[in-house]
Structure 1
């Protein structure tokens, strides 16, 4: 059985619109999403851990995201990606 993705979506003011749009798409697909109003990456990572989420997506602007995987077989990782790298639900 595949583990369900549970993610915190957070954004710098320059990325808020994109984060909200993508969060809605994931919510519509049945994923658990928490939209954070906290601004910094570290604060949002602490929130994601506190809430038992598997991922944090922090939108720096409309294109650049830092994705933190908190629960994987390797103990978690952080990677910088582009919005176009995301697999958006259909």
Structure 2
């Protein structure tokens, strides 16, 4: 997992638009220069590029995670059937 976030990339792109060189902006925010160059040209992140291929939307996935964690905190182990029911 990379040590930088989407907000770091956005900040580096803003620095680039304000006149900072690509190399310096990438170094300042700890982003590989190739990644910054690619994103500045409008390319999507890997996760963003494949978002439409996911079975669950981001909201449904977050809801499922919250439910599973709440079940775990109660000492229950959700079955596959229960998980499928919650998702639908």
TM-score over 0.5 (shorter chain): no
Between Structure 1 and Structure 2, the one with more helix by share is 2
Between Structure 1 and Structure 2, the one with more strand by share is 1
Larger radius of gyration: 2
The TM-score, its normalising length taken from structure 1, stands at 0.24
